[in-house]
Structure formats: C-alpha cells, structure tokens
C-alpha cells in the first residue's frame, strides 16, 4: 500500500513540475522561398511495398514547398510512417540542390531510411484471465489457476501491403480459438480496407453478477458460457487522418442453467441463450505523433452500434459513444494530455452481460483499477502532465538481427488527475457503492516506452474514497 504521505508527495511533485515550466515562443520564419521535391528515395523496406510508405507522406515528387514549411511537414511524414508500426526506426534526410539560375527553383531530394520489424512471430501464451494484473494480484491472490496458456501466431506484412494474419489457440482458465485476417487497402486508390474475424470461446468460470463494484465468479467442471462470432469489417481512409469503419457481426451466446439460477437477469427473463446481428459505424480522426505513446496531436472518435437487426434476434441494444483527446508539447521536455469520453446505451433495462460501465475495459478512472462500476451511461475526464526523463536509441552491435539490434527506450514521469461518473438504474440491485456518484483519482506514474509497442506503467494512486494503491499496467495511458 502507499504511505499516508502519498497525497502530499503527489501535490509537491505537481507543483514542482508546473513551476519548472518556462515560457517559450516559436517565431515563424519569414522566408517565402520555395523548393521543388526532385525525388523521394526509400531505403530499408525490404518487404514493405513502396506504395504503403508513400501513402503516409504529404511530400511528393514535383511538389513545391516553402522552406519555412519544410521541417514541420518532414516531421509529420516521419511520424505517419512510424505510426504504421511496420518499422523499428524511421529517419528522413534531405539534400538541397541549388538552382543554377534565379528563374528556377532549387531542388530537394528526400531519403527515407527505415528498419523493418520482425513480422512473423509464433510464441507461447501465458496471460491472466482477469481484467488487469492488479485485480489478479490483489483480489484473486495471484492464483495461477486463473492463467491462460496456449499459442499465438502473428504474421504481419505478409504480402508487403501491411496485411496481417492472426491465429490464437488458448486453453487454461478459458478455451478460445480465433482466426483473423486484415488488409488495410484492397483498392488501387488505397482507401478501402477489409478485415475478417472468426472466434469461438468457452468458460468454466465467469462473473455472473457484480456486488459492491467487484465481479462475483462461479466455477464449475462443466462449461458455463459459450460464445461464437463472425465479423466482416470494411474501412475507409480518407486522406491521412480520417478513418471510417463499418462492422457487421453475428454473435451467439449460451449459458448453463446454473448462471440463470444465480442471476435471472444475466440474459434477462431467465433466458439461457442470445443470438443477434450487430451493425456498427465508427469514425476516428487520428493525427498523433506516435500511436503507441502520443505526446503531440489530436484524437477524436465516435461510434454508433445497433444490435438486433434480424427478425430472429432476441437481443436489442443501442450504443453511442464519443471521445476527444488532445496532446500538447509544453517545451522543456514537458507534455500535457487531456481527454473527454462519454458513452450511453439503451434500453434502460439491459441484460447483465451487456451492462458495462467503467473498469471492464480500458475506460477507467485511474485510482479505481480494482473496481467495476456498472451502468448505462458513463463519462470520463482524464488529465496527464508528463516530464520526459530520457529518450534514447540503443544500438546492439553484437546482435546481428537487424529487426532487434536497435532498441529505442524512453521514460516519463507523469502526474495525473481523473474524474468520472456512471449513471446506473441497477446500482441498488448490484449493491454498488460507486455508481451515481462523482469519481475522482490522482497519482504519479513512471512510464517506460520501448520497441514493439511496449509500454510499462508503474503508478501510485489515491481516489476520492481515500483508497490508495500501487499498480502495474501494460497499457497506453490516454
């Protein structure tokens, strides 16, 4: 547990971080001189096709660009290529070729140098069945019977078009088999993408209700829940930063009579099975410098999903959500991020399995990692002030595998403060202590960011109820 002096420490560090900021100004360059892009040279993309990389760039051969605009455009092109997550490192260099006379523009050669990742990975799985490591450690007594084991196969960039094949075969706490294939572009214009998912899962231990904002489990030697689904997803990418997604999904659920006896509202009205078709549209504007751990940029998203569109469906559900996050560089290695998220679902009377508020997914008020707050409507406001401790790129010359011998590592000290609210009509039924009340949490974390999308977070928190804790997560912060 965190010492009682923890809130004082957080306050002191927050004041220190804020007081260390210095005013800064960026003075625009008055130069209106232009250059012409003569060539774009790609190096290091042994598997990745050129068109996948050029799709991410705004600078193209023949373009005339102001010199004052060039550094910013090069920086964003580099970020866009890096955000494909196909490469360990991406660097863009320039060479200026002066014009022999004043009647013609000078020319510029761009060289994009990349180091590709290791794309084919087959590895054993040893994962936790609980919502996060902290629930498993604190509430489940780090019980290794709650472990998922098996094997995953991930083959990325199969054809050089940033496509991906995934196969999962898992046993242990649950039994799950998943097959997925995605291709971001199936048309010549590189706008339309496709994804296909098929999955089957069974459980012998599941949460059948929530009590005091904690999941209550029941265990059996027989299968308690079965789920099968198939999904077809179409994506449309307009320009560089606008993403539209259309998802069609058929799902079939069934549970044992034991679950219905314990909670008749699990599927409502003591039903033991559900089947439904769902249609979901979502939009995302994503202009962040790094999708794994953003420091600058904007992310806006929203979606609407309708379940129960077929006459034979026995589950009807409407889900509307929206979120906006902004990331600022404050200078002197300081960064700030603020996020607003909201979600509302209908009808008011819902099956327990669909009644998910805060804590059951990545939507969480930090400081409440050990709690699940069920409800029909949720709201979150999250804030993070970060200080970059270091950001280095280590070259392991003794390792002769190019996909692994460059290791970028960065670390950030983060002070955060969150607020949230869950509106629930079943708070009394499930004896919730946190629903229909303002939630707030603050704390301090150390975030370590490395290659292959790895983010380690060690955080100490305190919430509005005075509960403190030390938590570990493998996750993105905002």
Q: How many domains does the chain have?
A: 2
Per-residue exposure over 329-358, b if at least 16 CB sit within 10 Å of its own CB, e if not: ebeebbbebebebbbebeeeebbbbbbbbb
Q: What is the DSSP string of 8-60?
A: HHHHHHHHHHHHT------PPP----EEEEEEEEEES-SSS-HHHHHTT-S--
**Residue at 18 is within a domain:** no
Task: Output the pLDDT for position 26.
Answer: 37
Task: Output the pLDDT for position 33.
Answer: 86
**Residue at 314 is within a domain:** yes
**Nearest residue to 287 via CA among 452, 61, 72:** 72
Averaged pLDDT score across all residues of the chain: 88
**Pair (45, 159) in one structural domain:** no
Task: Output the pLDDT for position 477.
Answer: 47
**Pair (41, 125) in one structural domain:** no
444: Cα separation from own chain's centroid = 21
**Residue at 317 is within a domain:** yes
CATH number at residue 96: 3.10.20.310
Task: Output the pLDDT for position 19.
Answer: 40
Dist CA 369 CA 470 (whole Å) = 10
**Pair (311, 370) in one structural domain:** yes
**Residue at 233 is within a domain:** yes
- Find the domain containing 98 and state its range: 34-115
Task: Give the global pTM.
Answer: 0.86
**Pair (411, 432) in one structural domain:** yes
The tens digit of pLDDT for each residue in 13-65 reads 443 443 433 333 333 433 578 999 999 999 999 999 999 999 999 999 999 99
**Residue at 13 is within a domain:** no
Q: What tokens were used for 167?
A: 């196969």
Instruction: Examine the fold and report which residue of 88, 115, 142 is the final residue of a domain before the chain moves on.
Output: 115
CA atoms within 13 A on the CB side of 276: 19
**Pair (190, 79) in one structural domain:** no
**Pair (85, 221) in one structural domain:** no
Dist CA 198 CA 232 (whole Å) = 9
SS3 call for 244: strand
The tens digit of pLDDT for each residue in 154-188 reads 999 999 999 999 999 988 778 999 999 999 999 99
**Pair (369, 226) in one structural domain:** yes
Instruction: Examine the fold and report which residue of 115, 132, 147 is the final residue of a domain before the chain moves on.
Output: 115
**Residue at 420 is within a domain:** yes
CATH number at residue 455: 2.40.160.50
Peptide bond between residue 347 and the one before it cis (omega within 30 degrees of 0): yes
Q: What is the DSSP letter of 101?
A: S
Task: Output the pLDDT for position 476.
Answer: 54
**Residue at 125 is within a domain:** yes
Over range 203-211, report the average pLDDT: 93
**Residue at 9 is within a domain:** no
Task: Output the pLDDT for position 8.
Answer: 45
Instruction: Examine the fold and report which residue of 66, 89, 115 is the final residue of a domain before the chain moves on.
Output: 115
**Pair (129, 266) in one structural domain:** yes
SS3 call for 144: helix
Over range 350-366, report the average pLDDT: 89
**Pair (101, 208) in one structural domain:** no
Residue 220 has pLDDT above 80, yes or no: yes
Residue 6 has pLDDT above 50, yes or no: no
In sequence order, the 6+-apart residues with CB closer than 8 A to the CB of 184 are 161, 162, 163, 190, 193, 235, 237
**Pair (371, 420) in one structural domain:** yes
Task: Output the pLDDT for position 134.
Answer: 72
Cβ(156)–Cβ(119) below 8 Å: yes
**Pair (101, 126) in one structural domain:** no
The tens digit of pLDDT for each residue in 279-338 reads 999 999 999 999 889 999 999 999 999 999 999 999 999 999 999 999 999 999 999 999
**Pair (129, 90) in one structural domain:** no
């Amino acid at each position: 547990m965190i010492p009682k002096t923890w809130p004082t420490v957080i306050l002191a560090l927050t004041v220190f971080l804020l007081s260390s900021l210095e005013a800064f100004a960026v003075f625009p360059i008055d130069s209106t001189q232009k250059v012409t892009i003569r060539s774009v040279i790609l190096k290091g993309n042994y598997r990745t096709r050129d068109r996948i990389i050029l799709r991410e760039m705004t600078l193209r051969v023949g373009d005339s660009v102001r010199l004052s605009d060039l550094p910013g455009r090069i920086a964003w092109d580099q970020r866009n290529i890096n955000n494909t997550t196909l490469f360990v490192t991406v660097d863009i260099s320039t060479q200026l070729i002066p014009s022999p006379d004043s009647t013609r523009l000078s020319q510029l050669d761009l060289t994009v140098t990349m180091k590709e990742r290791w794309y084919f990975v087959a590895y054993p799985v040893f994962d936790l069945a609980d919502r996060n490591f902290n629930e498993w450690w604190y509430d489940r007594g780090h019980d290794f019977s709650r472990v998922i084991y098996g094997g995953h196969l991930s083959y990325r960039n199969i054809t050089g078009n940033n496509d991906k094949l995934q196969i999962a075969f898992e046993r242990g706490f649950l039994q799950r088999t998943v097959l997925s294939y995605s291709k971001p572009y199936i048309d010549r214009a590189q706008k339309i993408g496709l994804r296909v998912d098929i999955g089957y899962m069974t459980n012998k231990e599941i949460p059948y209700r929530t009590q005091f904002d904690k999941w209550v489990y029941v265990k059996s030697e027989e299968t308690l829940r079965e789920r099968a689904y198939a999904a077809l997803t179409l994506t449309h990418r307009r320009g560089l930063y606008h993403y539209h997604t259309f998802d069609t999904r058929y799902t079939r659920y069934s549970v044992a009579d034991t679950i219905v006896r314990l909670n008749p509202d699990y599927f409502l009205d003591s039903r033991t099975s559900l089947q439904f078709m769902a249609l979901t549209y979502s939009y995302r504007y994503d202009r962040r410098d790094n999708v794994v751990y953003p420091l600058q940029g904007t992310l806006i998203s929203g979606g609407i999903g309708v379940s129960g569109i077929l006459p034979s469906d026995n589950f009807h559900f409407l889900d509307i959500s929206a979120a906006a996050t902004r990331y600022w560089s404050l200078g002197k290695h300081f960064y700030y991020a603020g996020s607003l998220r909201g979600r509302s679902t209908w009808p008011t009377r819902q099956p327990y399995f669909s009644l998910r508020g805060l804590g059951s997914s990545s939507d969480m008020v930090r400081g409440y990692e050990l709690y699940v707050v069920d409800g029909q409507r949720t709201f979150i406001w999250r804030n993070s002030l970060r200080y970059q401790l270091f950001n280095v790129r280590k070259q392991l010359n003794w390792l002769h595998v190019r996909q692994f011998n460059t290791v970028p590592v960065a670390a950030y000290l983060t002070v955060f403060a969150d607020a949230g609210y869950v509106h629930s009509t079943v708070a009394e039924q499930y004896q919730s202590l946190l629903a229909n009340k303002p939630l707030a949490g603050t704390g301090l974390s150390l975030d370590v960011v490395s290659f292959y999308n790895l983010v380690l977070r060690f955080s100490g928190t305190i919430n509005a109820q005075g509960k403190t804790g030390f938590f570990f997560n493998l996750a993105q912060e905002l």
